[in-house]
Amino acid sequence: MPASVGVAAAAMVATLPGRTHGLGLITEPLLTDMGLDRVPFASLNFWATLVGALFCVPIGWMIDRFGVRFVLSAVLISLGAVVVVMAGIQAGGTSLTVPTPEVFFGGGMEWSNVPLELFALVLLTRGLGQSALSVVSLALVGKVAGEKPGAVIGMYSFLVALGFMAAFVGIKASFELLNVDWRTLWSGLGWILFAAGVLALIVVREPRFSAAYLSVSERQPGEAERSFTLGTALLTPGFWVFGLSTSFYGLVAAGMSLFNQSLLAERGFERGVFLNITIVTPVIGLAANLGAGWMSTKVRLGVLLAASMLLQSAALAAFPFVSTLVQVYTYAVAMGIAGGVLTVVFFTVWRQAYGPAHLGRIQGAAQLLTVLASAIGPLVLAAGHRAYGAYSPVVQTLAAVGCIFALAALLVPLPHAAQTMREENPA
């Protein structure tokens, strides 16, 4: 297994402060310190994530142009610095007025005042973490995974889940055993990222790729694999089905992660259950990652995508009826399996379907869709809670939408780079 897989997995774990899962860990104390209501905060998060998604566009080009090592180091150092600054933010100061779309009942726009400094810092954590660093990680593992990336992607996903689990365990211990406040935690994460960026510049080596990674225009006759350009990939229906389906999963995961403590409180569970679930879900995802990695070599990716979407939909549909610890952990297990399978599908599909030569740009475009969706997710949950007085109606609506994406995944075919090349060069 290439060392680059471990580096790519570590880079993905390092995106935590820029992800909804990470921000969700400090949402409640942050709102208390800043004196913010959930809907204005969701609106702030929406616009910060939306603008931060634009970081996906140049980062893919930078990877293809300058290589992984330099870009990885620069992004880690920058993200670390931003997180350290965010840990010291205080209430007051300049306000920014942002529009909040009324998602339900056609209410138009609501305008909310949010702290300008908090908006800028959340934007940068989103742009550098969730957007840029994710693209770096995906491009690195995609380029070294080979024509049949299932096993490599499965191990990569396993390492990512293991890393997130370890991070959540450490954060839970910091909160519960060491009584660390969110500012100390956030500052510590920032310094770790900064140090990781310096270390990456020293020890990471640029992976070398064979002639099979050339684009079709650069390839000599008889070479085995074709690579789609970004423009060609965007013209295939498979790109949009897989991109939008995985983005919808991200929408749900982002919304429910940011307000997970509040969601579970609505079902009668205390904060300790919320913290336990942040650990349980990645654990379940570990086994799902390995299983899905193996299955991706045997089963069509569209089938795996459909199965994960249906399982997520079933869990969402059942959530409003969860009332016991057994039921809430069963729900967490179902969400963990769905997320583990879908993660492997998302990491696998772009390399397998479109080839490696322009992988940075293609995965940048796919990541852009997921980041946009993750911006919308918390807003949908927050506005739905305000409109209905509970999360349940929104959650069940999302379950129905997930079933539609599952059907599309079953019906729409994907291109396959290696197969396409064999057809064009039958000798």
Domain boundaries, the chain: 3-206+224-424
Instruction: Name the residue with higher pLDDT: 414 or 219.
Output: 414
**Dist. CA 328–CA 324, nearest whole Å:** 6
pLDDT in tens, 84-141: 999 998 887 788 887 766 555 455 567 778 889 999 999 999 999 988 998 888 878 8
Q: Is the dihedral of CA 412, 60, 252, 111 positive or negative?
A: negative
The reported pLDDT for the residue numbered 314 is 94
Other beta carbons within 10 Å of 339: 24
Global pTM reads 0.68
**Residue 167's closest CA among 246, 313, 282?**
282
Q: Is the pLDDT of residue 309 over 90?
A: yes
CATH of domain 3-206+224-424: 1.20.1250.20
Give the N- to C-terminal CA distance of the chain in Å, as an integer: 31
Average of per-residue pLDDT across 191-202? 92
Q: What Rg do the C-alpha atoms of the chain give, in angstroms? A: 21
pLDDT in tens, 9-31: 899 999 999 887 788 788 888 88
Look up residue 283 and give its two tokens. Answer: 């654990």
Average of per-residue pLDDT across 300-310? 92
Average of per-residue pLDDT across 207-221? 44
Average of per-residue pLDDT across 270-282? 73
Q: Is the pLDDT of residue 195 over 70?
A: yes
The reported pLDDT for the residue numbered 85 is 94
Instruction: Name the residue with higher pLDDT: 182 or 290.
Output: 182
**Dist. CA 250–CA 255, nearest whole Å:** 8
